[in-house]
């Protein structure tokens, strides 16, 4: 059987066909379990569900003439039924008993909705369905300026936003699926949009900062608020007060990561560690005063680990995104006795598609490190640097792999591709195509095009710290994508939206490679400006199927200008 996540223990038996079931639930059953039971296809196989009142999400399934589920709790029964849904999708079972329980109490997904792509409520609910199917129990949406905060008036209307009503409806939908929607809000760094306004620029750590590179680059780098100004804390309190009431979660993520400019402007000469901890303590205390457990990213405090005890009881988020990531940060927090979630990544940022060749080893190692260090949870991240051009379908391999590892961190998952083909893509061999496309895209850096765009607009060279792709690599990868496109066009995937997304990604990869090749050699790889124009129409179509307009117009503008320069 192909299951994601793989179950912990099973006793092998004879192969028995199953295409549906008739479920008997206990009286007074949790309505969420009942709703899921009603989603399973009906059939003659009898299923009896027993639900205890214990803590934990474990369950046991016994297979005989009647299938019996014994779950510790309502959530355990919910996950047992998700396993049964996947078994029915297989069309058979070959076990007499399954015993299952998660390795991590918290199994989360973190989705950037700030840096360009703002998903519709419908697509977020669809995402929740997928997450629940694979036993994820936490969702966070990364927010800076994409909510109608009064302080961001005039900004969120330009960039697009998620409404309070949509947020509350999503919170309720998550609860229906045993998922906790945790608010996540930038409260120290990553306040670029706010600090560029006339009203609040006096609160920026940098004095009289002016944009010198393209918008995407600036937003990633210069965004730290002045912690020494009393107005700064009052502003952050206001943002929290507007956002927190929309959520039923007992947690609040204050972020406070990547405060790059701290001590380089208005606070030059001061102790950066003391500045950071002093301001963060105020935010943490305020969140606690509201009855919430705070959480925050651990990158800055790890550089000042001697001060970490001053932050009190806080959930720390330990991130690391490389294929060869080391456990240093995780072990440091573990030895300090701190509660932490480990945070790997989908490696989709600055890209049309997730870099599976990086994300899989990264997620594998981070979950392994976390399990060994006693981390409480996993929060797999999907960031959107430089316009968030990757569709959600092009991140799902890594998202679902993260779900698998969050539940069963020790499993080898040798049959993961086949399970993805059955349970998500709905086409045998789809994972092979997706991984080949991801590997081909390795030479097609959207960031390199962003850099060229910035160089021509502002005369600023951003390429010094980034590897530049060589022409021979581009030519080889272009031919690889050319060979993949017929497979994507002729196949019959059950998940039509995913198939369409990958076809558009393949065409977009060709367009970007042609621009890069022309930039480097003058050769156009057989593509021209019209090809880019036609591709942008297709890309816009799939973009707006899952997202609001957001900053799509900025990406389109950049692509048109690049195409005009290099492919005309």
Please, which pLDDT band fits residue 567 given cuts at 50, 70 and 90?
very high
Please, which pLDDT band fits residue 414 given cuts at 50, 70 and 90?
very high
The whole-number average pLDDT for the span 431-437 is 97
First-to-last CA distance in the chain?
Answer: 52
- Nearest of 126, 123, 121, 161 to residue 545 by alpha carbon: 123
- Nearest of 107, 232, 72 to residue 180 by alpha carbon: 107
Q: Are the C-beta atoms of 29 and 51 separated by less than 8 Å?
A: yes
Question: What is the distance, to the nearest Å, from the Cα of residue 522 to the centroid of all Cα atoms in its chain?
Answer: 37
Q: 138 phi and psi, to 5 degrees?
A: -145, 140
Cα–Cα separations (whole angstroms), residue 33 to 37, 337, 394:
6, 36, 30
CATH superfamily of 106-413: Glycosidases (3.20.20.80)
Please, which pLDDT band fits residue 309 given cuts at 50, 70 and 90?
very high
The whole-number average pLDDT for the span 127-137 is 98
% helix / strand / coil in the chain, to the nearest 5?
50, 15, 35
DSSP single-letter state for residue 246: G
Q: 264 phi and psi, to 5 degrees?
A: -105, 0
- What is the structure's pLDDT at 1? 95
Angle at 130 between CA 128 and CA 133, to 5 degrees: 110
Q: Is the pLDDT of residue 115 over 80?
A: yes
- For residue 519 the two structure tokens come to 């930039």
CB count within 10 Å of CB 198 equals 6
Strand-pairing partners, residue 10, are 98
Q: Is the pLDDT of residue 170 over 60?
A: yes
Higher pLDDT, 457 or 495: 495
Domain range summary for the chain, segments of one domain joined by + = 9-100, 106-413, 430-567
Please, which pLDDT band fits residue 277 given cuts at 50, 70 and 90?
very high
Q: Are the C-beta atoms of 308 and 336 separated by less than 8 Å?
A: yes
The whole-number average pLDDT for the span 369-392 is 97
**CATH class of segment(s) 9-100:** alpha beta
- For residue 373 the two structure tokens come to 């260090």
- What is the structure's pLDDT at 458? 66
To the nearest 10 degrees (0 to 180), the angle between helices 430-440 and 356-373 is 100
Q: Are the C-beta atoms of 450 and 115 separated by less than 8 Å?
A: no
Average pLDDT, the chain: 95
Q: 458 phi and psi, to 5 degrees?
A: -125, -5
Beta strands in 26-166 (DSSP E): 45-51, 59-62, 66-71, 92-100, 106-112, 138-143
- What is the structure's pLDDT at 470? 84
- What is the structure's pLDDT at 465? 43
- For residue 342 the two structure tokens come to 């480990």
The reply to whether omega before 551 is within 30° of 0 (cis) is no
Please, which pLDDT band fits residue 219 given cuts at 50, 70 and 90?
confident
- Nearest of 131, 110, 104, 56 to residue 370 by alpha carbon: 104
The whole-number average pLDDT for the span 497-522 is 95
- For residue 391 the two structure tokens come to 């569709």
Q: 376 phi and psi, to 5 degrees?
A: -80, -25
How many Cα atoms sit within 13 Å of 146 on the Cβ side? Answer: 26
- For residue 377 the two structure tokens come to 């949870």
Q: Is the pLDDT of residue 341 over 60?
A: yes
Q: Are the C-beta atoms of 294 and 182 separated by less than 8 Å?
A: no
Q: 51 phi and psi, to 5 degrees?
A: -125, 125
How many Cα atoms sit within 13 Å of 42 on the Cβ side? Answer: 1
* Residue 279, SS3 per DSSP: helix
- What is the structure's pLDDT at 63? 98
96 membership: H or E segment, kind and range: strand 92-100
User: How far is Cα 301 from Cα 370, in angstroms, rounded to an integer?
Assistant: 19
% of the chain exceeding 70 in pLDDT? 97
- What is the structure's pLDDT at 488? 95
Please, which pLDDT band fits residue 454 given cuts at 50, 70 and 90?
confident
User: How far is Cα 281 from Cα 540, in angstroms, rounded to an integer?
Assistant: 43
- What is the structure's pLDDT at 442? 84
DSSP single-letter state for residue 6: P
Q: Are the C-beta atoms of 531 and 562 separated by less than 8 Å?
A: no
- What is the structure's pLDDT at 217? 79
Q: What is the pLDDT of residues 54-98, one digit of tens each?
A: 999 999 999 999 999 999 999 999 999 999 999 999 999 999 999
């Amino acid at each position: 059987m192909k299951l994601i996540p793989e179950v912990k223990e099973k006793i092998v038996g004879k192969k028995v066909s199953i295409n549906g079931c008739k479920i008997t639930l206990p009286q007074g059953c949790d309505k969420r379990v009942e709703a899921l039971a009603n989603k399973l296809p009906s059939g003659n196989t009898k299923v009896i569900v027993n639900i205890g009142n214990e803590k934990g999400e474990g369950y046991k399934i016994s297979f005989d003439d009647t299938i019996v589920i014994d779950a510790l709790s309502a959530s355990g029964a919910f996950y047992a039924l998700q396993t049964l849904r996947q078994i029915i999708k297989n069309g058979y079972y070959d076990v007499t008993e399954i015993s299952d329980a998660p390795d991590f109490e918290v199994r989360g997904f973190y989705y950037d909705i700030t840096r360009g792509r703002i998903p519709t409520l419908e697509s977020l609910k669809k995402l929740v369905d997928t997450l629940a199917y694979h036993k994820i129990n936490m969702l966070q949406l990364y927010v800076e300026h994409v909510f109608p905060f009064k302080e961001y008036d005039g900004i969120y209307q330009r960039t697009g936003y998620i409404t309070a009503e949509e947020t509350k409806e999503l919170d309720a939908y998550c609860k229906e699926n045993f998922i906790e929607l945790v608010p996540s809000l930038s409260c120290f760094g990553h306040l670029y949009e706010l600090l560029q306004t006339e009203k609040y620029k006096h609160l920026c750590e940098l004095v009289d900062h002016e944009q010198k590179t393209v918008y995407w680059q600036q937003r990633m780098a210069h965004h730290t608020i002045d912690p020494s100004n009393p107005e700064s804390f009052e502003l952050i309190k206001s943002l929290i007060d507007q956002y927190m009431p929309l959520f039923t979660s007992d947690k609040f993520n204050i972020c406070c990561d990547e405060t790059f400019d701290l001590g380089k402007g208005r606070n030059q000469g001061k102790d950066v560690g003391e500045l950071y901890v002093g301001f963060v303590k105020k935010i943490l205390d305020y969140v606690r005063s509201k009855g919430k457990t705070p959480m925050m990213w651990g990158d800055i405090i790890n550089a000042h680990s001697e001060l970490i005890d001053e932050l009190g009881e806080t959930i720390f988020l330990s991130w690391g995104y490389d294929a060869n990531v080391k456990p240093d940060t995780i072990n440091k927090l573990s030895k300090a006795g701190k509660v932490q979630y480990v945070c790997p990544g989908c490696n989709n940022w600055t890209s049309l598609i997730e870099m599976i060749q990086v994300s899989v080893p990264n997620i594998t190692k981070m979950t392994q490190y976390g399990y060994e260090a006693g981390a409480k949870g996993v929060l797999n991240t999907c960031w959107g640097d430089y316009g968030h051009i990757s569709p959600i379908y092009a991140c799902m391999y890594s998202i679902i792999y993260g779900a698998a590892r969050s539940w069963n961190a020790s499993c080898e998952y040798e049959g993961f591709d086949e399970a993805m083909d059955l349970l998500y893509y709905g086409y045998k061999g789809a994972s092979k195509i997706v991984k080949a496309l991801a590997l081909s895209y390795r030479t097609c850096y959207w960031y390199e095009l962003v850099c060229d765009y910035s160089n021509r607009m502002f005369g600023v060279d951003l390429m010094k710290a980034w590897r530049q792709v060589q022409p021979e690599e581009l030519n080889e990868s272009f031919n690889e994508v050319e060979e993949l496109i017929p497979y994507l066009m002729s196949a019959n995937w059950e998940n039509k939206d995913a198939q369409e997304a990958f076809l558009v990604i393949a065409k977009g990869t060709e367009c970007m490679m042609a621009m890069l090749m022309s930039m480097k050699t003058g050769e156009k790889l057989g593509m021209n400006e019209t090809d880019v124009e036609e591709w942008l129409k297709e890309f816009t179509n799939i973009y707006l199927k899952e997202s609001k307009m957001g900053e799509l117009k900025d990406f389109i503008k950049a692509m048109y200008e690049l195409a005009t320069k290099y492919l005309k």
